[in-house]
Structure 1
Amino acid sequence: MRKTPTPTAIAAVRDLRTARDTADVELMKGIVQWAVEHRIDNSVIDDLTFGVDGVLLGGVGCPLVSEFHAYDLAAGLAMSSDTGCFYIGKVLELRYRLPRVWKRVVDLQVPAWKALKLAASTMFLPFDGAAHVDRMLAPTLHSCSFAQIERTIAQAIDLFDPEEAERRRLKAADDRDFQVHLGGRNATTDGTIDVTGSLSTEDALDLEAAVKQGAKSLGDLGCEESLGARRSMAVGEMARTQLTLDLDTTESGDTGGRGVVIYAHIDSDSPHATLDNVGGGDVLIDQLKDWCQTAGTSVTIKPVIDLNQEITTQAYVPTARLVEQVRLRDQNCVFPNCTRRANYCDLDHRVPFNKNNPDAGGKTTTSNLSLLCRKHHRAKTFSTWAYDSPHPGVYDWTSPSGHRFRVTRGRRHGRMPTTTPLNDPPDP
C-alpha cells in the first residue's frame, strides 16, 4: 500500500529548501562584499578599461576586481578559476546591472539558480539593455519560461545594440562546426568519444544519407551490431576511406588512415594503455589489439618513459624528452581545480631559472618543471600565488589569502587532478 507523506515530513522538506535558498543568498552577498574589498578603484567603471591585474567579471557597470584574488576566491568555492570567475561575474551582474531581480532573489522570491542563469545571458548587453531586461522580467521571473527570457534578451539586443544584432545575423551562416571531443568524459571510461557538430542543411542531409547507407551495407554484410552501433561504424569507415576531396591539394597525396601512438608504461596492475592522440584517454589492451588489426591503421610504439626518472639539462629550454616526460606525468595544469590539458599548458620552472647566472637559479629538471596553463602561469609569476612539490605529481599551493591546497593525480584513478584544501601543514 502506497504511503502518503505526512505533513511533518513535507514541512521539514520546505524548511530545508528555505535554508538552502537562504544559504545561496548569503553566499552571493558574501561574494558582493568580497568584490567591494577587492575592487581596483573606488567607483563603478563605465567602460571596458582593465587594470594591471584587474578584470571585469560581469557586464559594463560592474566593479573592476583583482584578477589574481579572484582565483583565490574561486579556489575557496572549490571551483576552477574559469568556473569561479564566471560564477562571481554572474553574482556581480545581478547586484549591479539587474537590481530588481537581485532584490527579489534576496527576498527569496526568485530562486538563485534561475536568476544566475539570466545573469549569464545579459553580461554582453550594454548597460541600458540589461536594465531593459531587468524591468521586463523581474516581476515574473519566478514563473517565466526560458523561451520568454530568450525572447526578451533578443529584443534588448535589437533595441539597444543594433550592431550586435546585425553581427549575429551575418554570423549565423558561419556558425557551422564539427568537433571530436578527444578529451571528453568517455575517453577514460568506455573507449568511445563524443562527437558534435553543426552543419548546413544540405551537408546534414548528405551526411545522413551516407551514414544511413553505410549502416545498411554493414547489416547486409552480416554485421549483427545494433543500428546505432552500425551508424557509428559507418562514420569510422568513411573517415578511413574518404580522407580527401575530389581535388587532392596535399603534396604527398597521403590518404591517411587511423594513426595509433602507444606510450608503454610499466603498470602490472592496469589493463589499460595510454594513447596520445585521443586526448590522453585510456583504452583496454584488448580493444587496442582490435584497433591495430583494422585495415588502414598505422601503429607507432613509443619507447618506455620512466616518469620518475630525473632528466636534466643545463639550458633554460627543456629537451624534447624532458617536455614529453613532464606532459605525461602531469597531463593537466597543476593549479587548484584547473583541468586544462597538457597541450594548452606552459612548462613552468617552479624555482625560477636565472638566465644571467644558471647556477644561482632553479634547474631545468624533472622535479623543477610543472604544467601551468597561461592564465595560472601568469598568476604564479605576477602575484603571491606560490607552490611546492613534496612528491612527484603532488603540488601544494598557497593562495594570496594564505589558504592552502594540494593538487594530486593518480594514473589508475582517472586522469583529472584532485584538489584538496589543506588546513594543516603538509606531511614532511
Structure 2
Amino acid sequence: MDLGTSGTATTVSTASLLSWIADDAEVRDHLLVREWMNIVAWAGANIVDGAEGAATLTEGYLDTGVPIAGPGAPLVSEFQLMELIAVLGRTPEGGRSYVGQVVECAWRLPLLYAAVVDGRVAPWRAQRIADLTRSLPEQAAGFVDRHLNAAVGGVGWAQLERLVTEAILRFDPERAEAERQAANDRRHCDVHMDEVDAHGGVHLDAYLDAADGHDFNQAVAREAHLRGQLGDESSLDVRRAKAVGAIARRDLALDLLIADETTGEVLAQAPGRRVELNVHITDTALTAQAQGSRDGRCATSSTTNTVGRWDEGRCPVTTAQIREWLQVPGSTVIVPPVIDLADCVPVDSYEIPDRHQRRVRLRDHTCRFPNCPQQAVRCDLDHAPPHAAGGKTCPCNLVPLCRRHHRAKTHSTWRYQVTSPGHYLWTSPHGHHFHVGPAGTTPLDGH
C-alpha cells in the first residue's frame, strides 16, 4: 500500500514494490561505496610511519599511529581517527571496527575492495570478510583475496570460513598445528550421571575428534535404522538415543583382551574405520608431473600440497591429520577408481544409478538454487527437463536441489535452465535472473 499526501491508500503490485526496493538498495550501496572511497582517501592522508606504538609530534601534541587492520595495512593517526569516527556518527569501538574493515579491504584485500567499488560485492559482505581475515598473515590474506576474486558474490559464510581455515593451514602451519593440539586437549565425553532427572534421563556432552565423531554418528544412525526396520515405532531421535545404549552394551559384552594362550592371537576384534580416499588429479598437477619427468626429477617435491578436504565435514584439513585418521588400527582405506566428471552416458530408466549420482555430486558440491549451501550429498537429484517429458537420466541433465528448493522448482514458478554442465540460469517468479555455477551465485539483473 502507498499512502499519498491525502492519506488515501493506493494498491501497488508486488512487482512494483520489489522494483522500488531494488532501486533504493542500489542507491544505498552507491552512497556507502562513496563513503568507503572517502575513508580510504582519508586513511592514505593520515598514515603514521613507523612500528606499532611509534609516536609523532603533530601540531604541538603527541599523536600515535594505531593499527586498525591486519599486518601490512598502514598505521593511522589516533587523533585523526577519533575525529573521523565522530564525523561518521559511530561509537568509538564501532567506528574503529568499521574504519578498520574498510582499511583491511583497501590494503590487504585489494581485489575485494575493487569489487566493492565496481558494485560487484555489497559493502556489508566485504565487511564480514574483512573481520575474518584481519588476524591472518599478509600472505594468507592475499590467498583469500585471490580465491574470492572470481566467486565472492556467491560464496556462503561457511565456505568462506573454510577458505580462511585453508589459508591458515597453508601460510601459518605452526599456528594451525598449535590450535589443533590445543583443541585436542579439550576433547571430552561426559555422561552426567550425577544429574539424573525425574524421568530417569541423563545428558551426554562430548567434544570429539571429527573422524571419531563421524564414526560414532554412523554407528548410531545404523543402529537406529535397524531398530526401525525391526518394528520399533519410536521417533528417529528416540531410536538414536536407544542406539547409544545398545552399542555400549554390545561393547561391554566383548572382552577384547582375551587371546589364544598358545599363539597370543586376539580372539575378538572390533570392526575398524572405513575410509574412502579420493585423490584428485588436476591439470596443474599433470603439467607439473610432466615437467618433472622432462627435468629428470620427481615433481612432488616442489608441488606438495599440505591441505586436504574432508567431504563429510565440508572443511579443509591438514594432510598430517588425514595421516592420523588413516593410521588408526583396523582401518580400511578405499581408493576409488578414476572418475571423469565430464563423462556423460545416459541410461534408459528414471532411477539414477550410483555412478551418475557420484559424478553429479562431485561436480556441483551443493544445492544449485541461488545461494543455497546445502551439501549435494543431502539433496535430491532433479531431472532438468523432466524424465516424463523426454529428459535423459544422465549427469548433464541431473541437478542437485535440496528438498525445499526442489519443491519450489516443482510447485512454484521458479525455473532454471542448464546452460552447460554445472552452470544454471535461474528465473524468479517476478523475473529476476541468477547464474549459479562453480563460482557461486551471480545476480544478472542490471548487468
TM-score interval, normalised by the smaller of the two chains: 0.3 to 0.5
Give the TM-score normalised by the residue count of structure 2: 0.41
TM-score, normalised to structure 1, is: 0.43
